Structure formats: C-alpha cells, structure tokens
Structure 1
Amino acid sequence: MTSPNHSPRPPRVARTVTVLRTELLSPAMVRVIVGGPALDEIPPLQYTDHYVKLLFGEVTRTYTIHSLDHQAREMAIDFVIHGDEGLAGPWARDAQAGDQISFFGPGGAWAPRGDAEAHLLVGDDSALPAIVAALDALPSHAKAEVFVEVPSASARQDLPVTDHTTVHWIHRDEHDMGYGEALTYAVQTAPFPEGDVEAFVHGNADMIKPLRHYLFNERQVPREHVSISGYWRTGMNEDGWQSSKHEFVEQMEAEQDAH
C-alpha cells in the first residue's frame, strides 16, 4: 500500500491502562476512554492514523486512537459494535470504569498535508476515527470531500467540519450491496476534486482494490499523495486478514500496475 510517511515500527512493549468511562457515539459505535501512568511513556502523536494493538489474552486487535491527552492522562478509542460478534466490540460495549486493558504501540504513518488543495477522505465505520482525527488536524481553510459508509442513518456522528467540508453519508441498509460497495460507487460517480488532491482511503479490503485503481489509474493521483489500506476483509477475523494481506496486496498491485 502507499503512504506518504513512514514511521519506524514501535517497540513491542505492552502497556496497561484503566477504563475511566465510556461514551455511546451511536448505536453502532462506543468510545472508551482509558487512562493511567502508562500513557506518559507515549510521545506526542504525529499522525492521524495512529493505532494500538489491544491485547485480549493471546490475541491482539488493532484500533485507531481517537485522541490522546497527555495532560489529562486520557486516551480515547472508538469501537464498532456488531452485537456479540468479535472480541473488542463486546468488550468495549460492556466496559466499566476500573476495567484494565493492555496494548502494544502506538504505530502510525499518515497525517494530512495542510497545503494540499483538496482532501479526499474515504472509509467505512472502521475508518471513521481516523477520518475524524484527520478533519481535526486540517486547517480551517482546507477543502475536504468526505465519504463515510455506516450501517444506517442512526450511526451518523457529528464531525468536525468547516464551511469547506462536504460530507457524504452512505447507509448500508439502504443499498442491496456488500460492505464498501455503495461507498465505492459513491466515490467513483461523484465529481472529483480539482487541483492537488490528497487522499486517505481505508476500510474493507474489498473496496480498496477498485478505489486504488480509480485513484491511480483513472485519476492519476500521485502515489505519494495517497494513503490506502484495508483494515479488514469480509468473512475474515483480524488474524486471518493479517496473514493473507501481503498476498492480497501483491496480487492487486501486480494486476493494476502491469501497464
């Protein structure tokens, strides 16, 4: 995948924090705020896609950091909830003040360029925290086109927008399509931003392939101006996706970069 910035792999040191409180952002997403002295060991965040790998026994699950406040010793992480499915979602849904969780990281590689003429931010609900962080980091004059796919209209959130931000919400329950398909169609059929465009496209891997082709092959966006990656893939848990991601990327790049 292409990303304009690269950071060294963080040391694999497990840190433990305590749940302070939770906030229900929508029926499909909950924010867990954790705190503790371990956060003092984390340097100020440089990127807007910073993530941690949460530890659930011997298993890790990757989540984007919504915010980190060193002064308050608080870190906020947003979780998509799919009922009782998975490990992290049910844990976050049921989390109580005093619960503890350990994590590796953070890692991260991307932040928006303030001097880009237009920003294209695209993702499903799994990428929404990173999109929110990117919008927060943009200067007030920055032009941004935002496309977000969520389960339904009830899953919308208030975003940090300005008069130069256009947000397109795509509701999965209104389309007879798979994850990311309606989002892909919306991006491909919308007017493309003019000028020097920077793009951030993350979410279901099955939408990454057509949108990568669209940006690189059809719109000729310079690769160094695009951060694009699959956070997950339909029908796979994180372990299965991470073990097959390299092969998926290699095959996709071989197909799309052949000419």
Structure 2
Amino acid sequence: MTTPPPGPAGDRDLSGGREARRRPHPVLAHVLRAERLTPGLVRVVLGGRTMAPFVADAHADSYVKLLFLPPGERPLTADGRVDLDAVRAALPAGVAPRLRAYTVRRFDADALELTVDVVVHGDEGVAGPWAARLVGGEEILVSGPGGAWSPATDVDHHLLVGDASALPAIAVALERMPDDARGVAVVEVDGPHDELALTAPAGVELRWVHADHASPGRRLVETVLALPWPDGRVGAFVHGEAGAVKEVRRYLRLERGVAREDLSASGYWRLGVDDEGWRRTKRGWVAQVEQTEQAAGLA
C-alpha cells in the first residue's frame, strides 16, 4: 500500500441498480515486531489471538486496510471482530477512522501473523510515522483482505512496473512466478539505499530506477517506454503514482495493444493529494482513463 491499492468494497449506493454491500468488520491486531528494511521501508508483523477471524486472500496483490483511531474501547462482535459501528459512534464529532491500504507481504495462518511493508517519508503521512516509532504491542485494526490479480501462467512475458508503494506486490508476484517465467520488473525507489534483494526467476530481470524527487514517476515512465518490446503475449502489472500509471497504461494499451484482461493498472496514490483526497477523486480518474481507451477503439 504502500498505499494504497483500491480498497475493499464498502457500502455501495443503491443507485444504478447496484446492491448495497457491506465490508466485514475489522479484526484487532497487535504489533509483534517491526524491522527497518531500508531507510524508506519498515516491515511490520501483526498478530495475536484476536486475529483468528482473519481469512487470507489468494491473490498476489492481496491487501488489507489499517484503520488508525484515537485510543478507546474496541467492542467485539459475536464472531470476534471489532464492532466498527460502535467504535465510530463513540468517536468525537468530526473524527473518523483514517484508512491506509497495504499489500499483504505474507500471512501465516498457523501463527496468525500478518506481514506488511510500510513506506516511510520522514514525518509525512499517517502510517509512515506510526511504523517508524513502533516498539511492539501497539494495537491496530485490520480490514479486508481484498485482491484481484496474480501473475498469469499463460503469457509469454511479464512486465511489472511500480514505485516503492507497489514494491511489496511486485515482490510477491516475482516469488509466485514459475521458474521458467520471463520478463522484467521496473521499480522506482528514492536511491540505491532503498533497493532490496528480491527472489525472482532467472529469466525475469529486475531494474531499479532512482527517482527524480522533483518529478516522481518520470524516470519510471521513461525506463518502461525505452524497454525493447518482446514477442508474444505480455501480461502487465502497473501500480504506483497515478500520473505515472496513466502514462504507462496509455502506452501499453494504445501503442502496444496489450489486452485489457492482460493488464492490472491502478494509481495507489496521487502526487499532491492525501489518501482521503485520492479516494474521493479516483473513480473520476478511472473513468477518464477508460474513456480515452474507448475513444481509441479499445474495449
């Protein structure tokens, strides 16, 4: 997440003929341990018996949302989850849970341990400063999981593109590919100090791109557009800053003809907008992208 992948479906308006759907109440988790993997990435392991109701999602881009709340009681429902309706009702006027989405790096169902990697940019944001100061034992609510994508087994070439927010999902995807997979993963991070050792098939090249801080995503886009185009069918995963994702998606769909069903592309975050603001405007952003493709005659 690592923000944020598209979140779990919440309550939906009945307009447009869509049925209302409620997301399950979250579970209560405790911080078991935290490890600084790089200057910009903290690995957080959550667990405890209160996580027993949590059920994992099988997709490589499986994600959860962490709910940040003021201290207070966490009443449970009959199935052992946190009664979020009761928690919300007890909050002061004008205060609401702040949600941040993160890829599930791994989940150990036997040990009830959920691992997420959190991007840290100094004192910016909500989750980053929280992760940077963890000592163990802290409580956090976990909602989800969601997920919709895993690397296809019937493509000839994989293309994985993302920034630090997408790095955990790319890492999971690389680990799940068969040994004979071929392709390239392009990941933009702040600098050499933020590069990680990742497990990948021998035929999948990993290219690190160091960000231009004045224009995040620019070097990522330039690198992808300069890649030699492979023969055969390409399966692509493109996630990260919305502007960069839009440019890469346009290139893949309009210039390279990558089929929609072979592409997972989404803005995890948007430059200059906080997470709440991005969630409010993301649907319109998606609609604009899809209209551009439809105008070009792409289904």
* Aligned residues: CA RMSD: 1.6
**In the alignment, is the contact (CA less than 8 A) between 2:57 and 2:146 conserved in 1?**
no
Counterpart of 2:289? Answer: 252
More strand by share: 1
Superposition pairs of residues 49-88 of structure 1, within 5 angstroms: 49-57=61-69, 58-88=97-127
Superposition pairs of residues 71-220 of structure 1, within 5 angstroms: 71-172=110-211, 175=212, 177-220=214-257
Q: Distance in 2 between matches of 1:74 and 1:123?
A: 26
Q: Distance in 2 between matches of 1:128 and 1:138?
A: 16
Percent sequence identity is 41
The runs of at least 4 aligned residues of structure 1 exceeding 3 Å deviation read 7-10
Counterpart of 1:238? Answer: 275
Q: How far has the Cα of 1:15 moved from its partner?
A: 0.6
Is residue 18 from structure 1 mapped to residue 30 from structure 2 by the alignment? Answer: yes
The SS at the match of 1:250 is helix
Q: Distance in 2 between matches of 1:93 and 1:82?
A: 10
Q: Distance in 1 between matches of 2:201 and 2:291?
A: 39
Unaligned runs of 5+ in 2: 1-7, 11-21, 70-96
* Residues 33 and 221 of structure 1: CA distance in aligned 2, closer, same or farther (over 3 Å): same
**In the alignment, is the contact (CA less than 8 A) between 1:39 and 1:70 conserved in 2?**
no
TM-score, length basis structure 2: 0.80
Q: Distance in 1 between matches of 2:177 and 2:268?
A: 23
The SS at the match of 1:247 is helix
Q: Distance in 2 between matches of 1:194 and 1:91?
A: 45
Is residue 27 from structure 1 mapped to residue 39 from structure 2 by the alignment? Answer: yes
Counterpart of 2:72? Answer: none
Q: How far has the Cα of 1:177 moved from its partner?
A: 4.9
**In the alignment, is the contact (CA less than 8 A) between 1:216 and 1:223 conserved in 2?**
yes
The SS at the match of 1:95 is coil
Q: How far has the Cα of 1:19 moved from its partner?
A: 0.7
TM-score, length basis structure 1: 0.92
